[in-house]
Chain A
Amino acid sequence: MLLIECPYCGERDETEFSYAGEAHIARPLETEKLNDAEWADYLFMRKNPKGAHREQWLHAAGCRRYFNAERDTVNYKVKSTYKIGEQS
């Protein structure tokens, strides 16, 4: 059971959070100009790294804020968490 540091509330039990997928995927600005392959890349393609992975998490049972986390998919250690819009 992870202990995750919400950048707002501090360390909390994993059960207060929900996972929200890969971080740093910006929604394209002019979606109508993308061809099918470009749109599919945004829509479907996700990294699945062994090791460091940047993810979004939601402090669902806490402050309801989304934030970013750098988590190691091998040993589950959350190396850092940081607010949306910030870099770790």
Chain B
Amino acid sequence: MSKNYRLAEGGRINREHTVNFQFNGKSYSGFAGDTLASALLANGVHMVGRSWKYHRPRGILSAGAEEPNAIFQLEKGKYTVPNARGTQVELYDNLDASSVNCWPSLDFDLMSINSKFARMMPAGFYYKTFMWPKSMWMKYEHFIRKASGLGESPRQNDPDRYEHAHAHCDLLVVGGGIAGLTAALAAGRAGARVMLVDEQAEFGGLTLNSHAQIEGKSASQWIEDTVAELQAMEEVTLLNRATAFGYHDYNFLTVNQRLTDHLPLSERKSGREKVWQIRAHQVVLATGAAERPLVFANNDRPGVMLASAVSTYVNRYAVKPGNRVVIFTNNDSAYQTALDCKAAGIEIAVVVDARAQSSSELANTVRSAGIEVLNGSAVVDTSGGKHVSSVKVMNLAADGKSVSGSVKNISCDLLAVSSGWSPVVHLSSQSGAKAIWNDDQAMFLPGTPTQAQVSVGAANGTLDLKNSLHQAALAGNAAAKACGFDSDMAAPSAEALASEAILPLWQVPSIHASGRGPKAFVDMQNDVGVADIQLAAREGFHSVEHVKRYTAMGFGTDQGKLGNINGMGVLAQTLGQSIAETGTTTYRPNYTPVSFGAIAGQNLGDELFDPVRKTAMHAWHEENGAEFENVGQWKRPWYYPRNGESLDEAVNRECLATRESVGILDASTLGKIEVVGRDAAKFLEMIYTNNWMKLEVGKARYGFMLGEDGMVMDDGVTVRIAENHFYMHTTTGGAAGVLAWMERWLQTEWPELEVFLTSVTDHWATAAVVGPNSRRVVSAVCDGIDFSADNFKFMDSRVGKIGDLECRVNRISFSGELAYEVNVPANYGRYMWEELMQAGAEYNITPYGTETMHVLRAEKGYVIVGQDTDGSVTVEDLGMSWALSKTKTDYIGKRSLNRPDTLRKDRKQLVGLVTEDPKTVIPEGAQLVDNPGAPMPVPMAGHVSSSYYSACCGHSIAMALVKGGHHRTGETVYAPLANDRVIKATITDTNFYDKEGAKANA
């Protein structure tokens, strides 16, 4: 047998450009324009993998997206791609492909022993066998995964870039075959914004194989001219190598464009894939149709191929998939394959037609070309080892239900099969149009649209050229008109071709008893055979969705594109009902697999995965060696290590320096909201738990916000700037949520209140200057303010100047120290910061980060909403009921404070903890128990919410939520850790430092 199956001429390949590639370590060559599949066939390679359950040899079956067998692992290391369909992989220099699912090698496959026990591995085998005993499942699973794995996922970081793009158009045409091109042309000529996407490198679809004439020229010439015309239109965008993989609500389609996969690795630059998110006013689906294979014994042997694929390889790639072909069909279209094969010099053994008669023009042309046609016959079995060498043919009854007569053995090395066509209704179905079974055509047709879309051409079950072009022109015109363009392009002319009816044949009758004899495959990738579906039906699985899950039919990387309809036919026959009654499974995105990289796009890594928000002083913090911590989306300085300090060392130093002299913290990230209007105070009365009406201008107050369920939601200090003007602080993480929440009350519940809310979080930069020397530092920088203790008291707010720059200074403290927060417009944030650093130099002013801030506040028992609360904690639980107004009749959440659950005495309440060993720090989150020796399950007493080593106290401190904790001061609790250590601690109050509060009021 010659190893060169390349035809001497023809095809859409570039014979000037030889492309070398490797398959399973062996070198081959093909031409530019080849796919990996066509190049392998040109080299006489049919068998490319093994099936996943029985490890049977499998060959190239199709020439498109529906391919179940020819899936490959491409490249190695970081560029590796699993499960690539060789029928769609464009050949490039030095492509390195290998089979998936063959161990240890394609030719010698240890797992193929499975096929000897095929009868012992029926549908549901894994469920039935391996689920019991449960303790063994882990071992079984390990074995099954190794045995059944498809390709291997990459283990290294993906070096490629992926991109996203949004697009809008009047008309999106999916599919660049002749129907799609025609629809796009009609709307494009009318001036509409048109996008045309096609999954192949070349536009033209299956018609690229055709010898037909359109508008008096060859189809390929017409395609070339049409593409050129479309490309010249300003408002038309053509995307090739672009698969529309999802049709979502409101005419939103997702399209994955492969930008570099066709290039040698060394030439790949920029983005590898781009996911287009397209919103279209109108959609035309010209997605074509996929030919179905026939189902008979040993129909999975390499050398069995779809008839249309044979034509494609011959005409488009100038490859002979075999030297002697048997064609087995139940419809007219495969007769064209006979003619194509003959023209290519392939010997045609016979055309086996399941139909009792065939007398269409095409069939007669075949006969008059001297090709033998056996009507009323069927291929019942194939022979050969790893490649088909002959087929068995018998007589088929007119109803297709039985075979009879003698068995004819016909030798061949290629069996071309056609069981009719299935319109690619995937996107139409995803859009909400439920596919409808058509008995005459034996196919699912697109259902009634629920969105502005229409299917044309083969996708609409229209298999002939003339009608396809007609439909497409109409659809293009209609879409353009719907968008306000005048459009009435006539359909490109083509000759009509009459064809005869199909004889639906979902399975060739077996000559063996049911469940006996060789396997006849429905889903090649998942090794689902006719017997499996019959068994599932016998076991009571009648819904097609259940059969799918029980047998795994359609669960492969091909999603059953090729096998599902045959499977439904087999099921319907088994259940004695029609396919319409049986129904189809749901078509879901994605049409073909999409890489994770494409879905992630650019939104990757520390910087771009999620917004990183930075304060005006960020660069200063970086320049001064800060380590950063993520707080919500913000990057905040965590601590400022000096000379290789550890976190603990730096924090101890920062704490002591602040308490002894002065520290400075970037507090810009706190949420800031201006609350303005005549009813501002009245509004705050409802939003906060405490009283606001009588707060003096120039004074600040701390407040809690509750959810309507009574639980603490946010907290912060709000300043009354003027009678009707408040300046609110929220937590860093809560800012956006609090603003939206307050807007909701104002807009939906109390529109009569005259209040406007404006976020100014980004406008202000805030430096907290903290410690006994803070007054000296701030007064040296800020002019125009009397900083004396009597005139600028705790919770006072003043406006002053830094040079000519206006600043607002609030005397608030989150540390228990004398402290001032200085606010300036953020463009001047760094300037202010540096002024304060300079003025503080003589007091050794120490910048500190969030960790020291946490320790300082914990030493004073100040809570952090979201750390010491978790949405199930009340103000009372925190021991802060002084913050609840006794006089207000209502505020958000108030009524919930009287719910029985909120009044429970054994609620978890916030307490302090001091460990027996002063150096031991209990891990945050540790569970607390009263008796660590109690029999399991040990009752939980509570958990630790904050825990630190306090350099200022000289021992560790912690805060915990403990059941009934407010009445348990002095009692002992235990924190048992995962490493069996048990930490003993005593319950205290939460104020560990300067209990009288003298320092803050200094």
Interface residues, chain A, CB within 8 Å of chain B? 1-3, 13, 18, 20, 26-27, 30-32, 34, 36, 39-40, 43, 56, 58, 60, 64-66, 75-77, 84-85
Assembled-state Cα–Cα distance A2/B250 (Å)? 6
Given contacts A13-B279, A26-B749, A84-B748, 11 further A-B contacts (CB under 8 A): A1-B277, A18-B740, A32-B894, A34-B895, A36-B899, A39-B895, A43-B708, A43-B709, A66-B747, A84-B751, A85-B751
Rounded to whole Å, the gap between the CB of B227 and the closest CB of chain A is: 30
Interface pair B747/A3, CB less than 8 Å apart? no
Interface residues, chain B, CB within 8 Å of chain A? 248-252, 277, 279, 432, 450, 708-709, 740, 743-744, 747-749, 751, 889-890, 894-896, 898-900
Which residue in A13, A27, A31, A75 is a CB contact (below 8 Å) of B749? A27
Given A39-B896, A60-B740, the answer on whether A3 and B751 have CB atoms closer than 8 Å is no
Rounded to whole Å, the gap between the CB of A28 and the closest CB of chain B is: 8
List 17 A-B residue pairs with CB atoms under 8 Å apart, sorted by A's residue number.
Answer: A1-B248, A1-B250, A1-B252, A1-B277, A2-B250, A20-B744, A27-B749, A39-B895, A39-B896, A43-B896, A60-B740, A65-B747, A66-B743, A66-B748, A77-B249, A84-B748, A84-B751
Contacts of A32 in B (CB 8 A): 889-890, 894-895
Rounded to whole Å, the gap between the CB of A8 and the closest CB of chain B is: 12
Given A32-B890, A84-B751, the answer on whether A64 and B743 have CB atoms closer than 8 Å is yes
Given A2-B249, A3-B252, A75-B432, the answer on whether A31 and B895 have CB atoms closer than 8 Å is yes
Contacts of B450 in A (CB 8 A): 75
Interface pair B747/A31, CB less than 8 Å apart? no
Rounded to whole Å, the gap between the CB of B402 and the closest CB of chain A is: 45
Which residue in A3, A58, A65 is a CB contact (below 8 Å) of B250? A3
Pairs A-B, 9 closest by C-beta atoms:
A3-B250, A31-B895, A1-B252, A66-B747, A84-B748, A76-B249, A39-B895, A27-B749, A1-B248
Rounded to whole Å, the gap between the CB of A38 and the closest CB of chain B is: 10
Assembled-state Cα–Cα distance A68/B993 (Å)? 51
Residue of B whose beta carbon sits closest to that of A44: B709
Interface pair B894/A31, CB less than 8 Å apart? yes
Interface pair A56/B748, CB less than 8 Å apart? yes
Contacts of B277 in A (CB 8 A): 1
Contacts of A13 in B (CB 8 A): 279
Residue of A whose beta carbon sits closest to that of B432: A75
Which residue in B743, B890, B900 is a CB contact (below 8 Å) of A31? B890
Given A32-B895, A43-B709, A85-B751, the answer on whether A58 and B744 have CB atoms closer than 8 Å is yes
Rounded to whole Å, the gap between the CB of B476 and the closest CB of chain A is: 23
Residue of B whose beta carbon sits closest to that of A42: B708
Which residue in A3, A39, A77, A84 is a CB contact (below 8 Å) of B279? A3
Assembled-state Cα–Cα distance A43/B710 (Å)? 10
Assembled-state Cα–Cα distance A56/B749 (Å)? 12
Residue of B whose beta carbon sits closest to that of A26: B749
Rounded to whole Å, the gap between the CB of B282 and the closest CB of chain A is: 14
Assembled-state Cα–Cα distance A39/B896 (Å)? 8
Assembled-state Cα–Cα distance A13/B167 (Å)? 12
Contacts of A43 in B (CB 8 A): 708-709, 896
Rounded to whole Å, the gap between the CB of A19 and the closest CB of chain B is: 12
Assembled-state Cα–Cα distance A1/B430 (Å)? 13
Contacts of B751 in A (CB 8 A): 84-85
Contacts of B743 in A (CB 8 A): 58, 64, 66
Residue of B whose beta carbon sits closest to that of A28: B895
Contacts of B748 in A (CB 8 A): 56, 66, 84
Which residue in A34, A58, A85 is a CB contact (below 8 Å) of B740? A58
Interface pair A39/B889, CB less than 8 Å apart? no
Assembled-state Cα–Cα distance A27/B707 (Å)? 13
Assembled-state Cα–Cα distance A37/B973 (Å)? 37
Assembled-state Cα–Cα distance A83/B748 (Å)? 10
Interface pair B249/A1, CB less than 8 Å apart? yes
Assembled-state Cα–Cα distance A85/B900 (Å)? 34
Residue of A whose beta carbon sits closest to that of B736: A60
Residue of B whose beta carbon sits closest to that of A66: B747
Given A1-B250, A1-B277, A2-B249, the answer on whether A66 and B895 have CB atoms closer than 8 Å is no
> Which residue among A2, A39, A40, A43 has the maximum number of chain B CB atoms within 10 Å of its CB?
A43
Assembled-state Cα–Cα distance A52/B898 (Å)? 35
Contacts of A3 in B (CB 8 A): 249-252, 279
Residue of B whose beta carbon sits closest to that of A78: B250
Assembled-state Cα–Cα distance A75/B744 (Å)? 27
Residue of A whose beta carbon sits closest to that of B710: A43
Rounded to whole Å, the gap between the CB of A62 and the closest CB of chain B is: 13
Contacts of B749 in A (CB 8 A): 26-27
Contacts of B898 in A (CB 8 A): 36
> Which residue among A18, A31, A84, A85 has the maximum number of chain B CB atoms within 10 Å of its CB?
A31
Contacts of B708 in A (CB 8 A): 27, 43
Residue of A whose beta carbon sits closest to that of B745: A27
Contacts of A26 in B (CB 8 A): 749
Assembled-state Cα–Cα distance A86/B740 (Å)? 21
Interface pair B747/A84, CB less than 8 Å apart? yes
> Which residue among B250, B709, B896 has the maximum number of chain A CB atoms within 10 Å of its CB?
B250
Contacts of B279 in A (CB 8 A): 3, 13
Residue of A whose beta carbon sits closest to that of B253: A1
Contacts of B747 in A (CB 8 A): 65-66, 84
Interface pair B740/A39, CB less than 8 Å apart? no
Contacts of B896 in A (CB 8 A): 39, 43
Residue of B whose beta carbon sits closest to that of A24: B748
Assembled-state Cα–Cα distance A58/B742 (Å)? 12
Assembled-state Cα–Cα distance A84/B748 (Å)? 6
Interface pair A66/B744, CB less than 8 Å apart? yes
Assembled-state Cα–Cα distance A64/B747 (Å)? 10
Residue of A whose beta carbon sits closest to that of B707: A43
Contacts of A60 in B (CB 8 A): 740
Interface pair A36/B900, CB less than 8 Å apart? yes
Contacts of B740 in A (CB 8 A): 18, 58, 60, 64
Contacts of B709 in A (CB 8 A): 43
Contacts of A2 in B (CB 8 A): 249-250
Contacts of A77 in B (CB 8 A): 249
Contacts of B251 in A (CB 8 A): 3
Residue of B whose beta carbon sits closest to that of A18: B740
Residue of B whose beta carbon sits closest to that of A4: B250
Rounded to whole Å, the gap between the CB of B899 and the closest CB of chain A is: 6
Contacts of B432 in A (CB 8 A): 75
Contacts of A20 in B (CB 8 A): 744
Assembled-state Cα–Cα distance A39/B890 (Å)? 13
Contacts of B248 in A (CB 8 A): 1
Residue of A whose beta carbon sits closest to that of B709: A43
Contacts of B744 in A (CB 8 A): 20, 56, 58, 66
Assembled-state Cα–Cα distance A18/B890 (Å)? 28
Interface pair B249/A39, CB less than 8 Å apart? no
Assembled-state Cα–Cα distance A20/B248 (Å)? 23
Assembled-state Cα–Cα distance A26/B709 (Å)? 15
Rounded to whole Å, the gap between the CB of A17 and the closest CB of chain B is: 12
Assembled-state Cα–Cα distance A59/B896 (Å)? 29
Rounded to whole Å, the gap between the CB of A1 and the closest CB of chain B is: 4
Rounded to whole Å, the gap between the CB of B532 and the closest CB of chain A is: 34
Contacts of A36 in B (CB 8 A): 898-900
Rounded to whole Å, the gap between the CB of A54 and the closest CB of chain B is: 13
> Which residue among B249, B251, B749, B899 has the maximum number of chain A CB atoms within 10 Å of its CB?
B249
Assembled-state Cα–Cα distance A27/B893 (Å)? 11
Contacts of A31 in B (CB 8 A): 890, 894-895
Assembled-state Cα–Cα distance A56/B748 (Å)? 9
Assembled-state Cα–Cα distance A36/B902 (Å)? 12
Rounded to whole Å, the gap between the CB of B104 and the closest CB of chain A is: 46
Assembled-state Cα–Cα distance A86/B155 (Å)? 56
Rounded to whole Å, the gap between the CB of B36 and the closest CB of chain A is: 34
Assembled-state Cα–Cα distance A34/B251 (Å)? 47
Assembled-state Cα–Cα distance A26/B747 (Å)? 12
Rounded to whole Å, the gap between the CB of B389 and the closest CB of chain A is: 53
Assembled-state Cα–Cα distance A31/B890 (Å)? 7
Contacts of A18 in B (CB 8 A): 740
Assembled-state Cα–Cα distance A4/B435 (Å)? 27
Residue of B whose beta carbon sits closest to that of A56: B748
